[in-house]
Structure 1
Amino acid sequence: MMKLFQMGSKPLGIERITTFLQDNYVSIGYPGIGDLENVSTEELRDRLIRTYRYSEPELTEHLQAIHLFVHTMQDGDYVLVSDGDWVHLGDLGDYFYNELFDTPDNGTCHRRGVTWLKSLPMTDLNAGVKEFLSDSGAAKQYGGPMPSARVDLWITGSPDSEQAGDDRVYVDEETLSMAIGILKQALVSEDAERRERAAIAILQYAK
């Protein structure tokens, strides 16, 4: 099942939100420890100790954040990045290491590609997402219940939903039954994309 994360926009304390949005990626920082794609927790721990000389409590916190970014996040998961009074929602890609940016003054070598989906005012978010974003960090996973489809709609608060309900057009039962029948037929189509669209439409109707 798809998961939701938040990322900070200041690896090494440098604001990178403009670059993240323009170049379609997010980064967690931590230069100087090399490519992490096939690195064990023990090896990562050793590299952090050698490079950053963290205390034990600090080490645990940084290990968790890096493991989340490199291993827990998966292609197709969603990410939120705060930007002042706005938040940007993106679809995550795979982890990759870019040696060119493994420098102390840049430090954006550990990356995940992002397809940015939409930007929203903080005031439009639902209460659960606002609370999730209020506790900022390098990387964090949302622990609440997730919807089965259309996360981009789910993160918004109730005013938009209420407005949408007020503008709804009445459809008679016979037309609804016909439409559902067509969607059910599409669920067994040989076209994978058509099956997926039908599934999403039925899940949205069932809410």
Structure 2
Amino acid sequence: MRLFGVKADRPRSGLIKSFLEDNYVCAGYPGIGDLEGCGREDIRERLLAAGDYQGHELEDALDSLNIFVHVMQDGDYVLIADEEWAYLGDLGDYFYDSRHESVEDGTAHRRGVTWLKSLPRTGLNPAVEALLAADTAVTPYSGVLPAARVDLWLAEPVGGREAEHSLVQVDQATVAEALDVLKAALHSPDTDRRERAAVAILQYAK
């Protein structure tokens, strides 16, 4: 498992809220179509054909999209943040939603996310804060990550658990259904899946 920082495009106010409420993150870079099955050089050609990227901007876009489509894996962790709060989630697979391909929207390149934890940015480990401060849209954490304990990189929020914050509101029936799915996953033959389910249940139980 790895940890990645994803930066929301600041001019698009409300994007973080959309990530949290609709359970996804995006890479940006509209106008280049579905990247499922595209290799790194295919992505480069798509970016060049779009005509909006060149030089360092082209290389940054290429690196971010290649990481988002190919390097990230189902079960890795993602961290996003606004000015005050940071949010940790469990990543799903890449998918392309053509309804959001416009330049004004620009969120067509997506990965599903199960959000696990939120806390004030003042409580972040300095290494994680540096990850969020990176200039690129998608940035991998380069240090060694303790298996199933990404929370070790997050300090306790000021004021204890009561200070934790979330924009996501979910009804109790949905929560119960999600817990049933996680409990079933505890008996999966896939070790990583069992581990992720255990982490999610323990996070909920806090």
- TM > 0.5 fold call: yes
Shift of 1:45: 1.2
Matches within 5 A, 1:58-97: 58-97=57-96
Q: Would you identify which runs of 4 or more consecutive aligned residues in structure 1 move more than 4 Å? A: 190-193
Paired residues of 1:3 and 1:146 also in contact (CA < 8 A): yes
Task: Name the residue aligned to 1:24.
Answer: 23
Separation in structure 2 between the aligned mates of residue 134 and residue 26 of structure 1, nearest angstrom? 17
Shift of 1:49: 0.8
Letter aligned with residue 98 of structure 1: D
Separation in structure 1 between the aligned mates of residue 52 and residue 104 of structure 2, nearest angstrom? 19
Separation in structure 1 between the aligned mates of residue 118 and residue 35 of structure 2, nearest angstrom? 30
Letter aligned with residue 19 of structure 1: S
Separation in structure 2 between the aligned mates of residue 132 and residue 43 of structure 1, nearest angstrom? 27
- Please say which of residues 48-57 and 137-146 is displaced more in the overlay: 48-57
Task: Name the residue aligned to 1:10.
Answer: 9
TM-score by length of 1: 0.72
Could you say what secondary structure the match of 1:89 adopts? strand
Asked if 1:123 corresponds to 2:136, the answer is no
Structure 2 residue runs of 5 or longer lacking an equivalent are: 161-185, 200-206
Could you say what secondary structure the match of 1:19 adopts? helix
Letter aligned with residue 104 of structure 2: D
- Cα gap change, 1:134 to 1:104, in 2 (>3 Å): closer
Structure showing greater radius of gyration is 1
- Please say which of residues 16-25 and 33-42 is displaced more in the overlay: 33-42
TM-score by length of 2: 0.73
Deviation string 1:57-93 (CA, Å, 9 cap, x unpaired) is 2211110010011111110000110111210001000
Shift of 1:159: 8.4
Cα root mean square deviation, aligned: 2.5
Task: Name the residue aligned to 1:157.
Answer: 155
Task: Name the residue aligned to 1:104.
Answer: 103
- Cα gap change, 1:62 to 1:38, in 2 (>3 Å): same
Higher fraction of helix: 1
Identity of aligned residues (%): 46
Shift of 1:136: 4.1
Matches within 5 A, 1:42-61: 42-61=41-60
Letter aligned with residue 155 of structure 1: W
Separation in structure 1 between the aligned mates of residue 121 and residue 135 of structure 2, nearest angstrom? 14
Letter aligned with residue 138 of structure 2: A
Separation in structure 2 between the aligned mates of residue 137 and residue 58 of structure 1, nearest angstrom? 10
Shift of 1:158: 7.1
Task: Name the residue aligned to 2:142.
Answer: 143
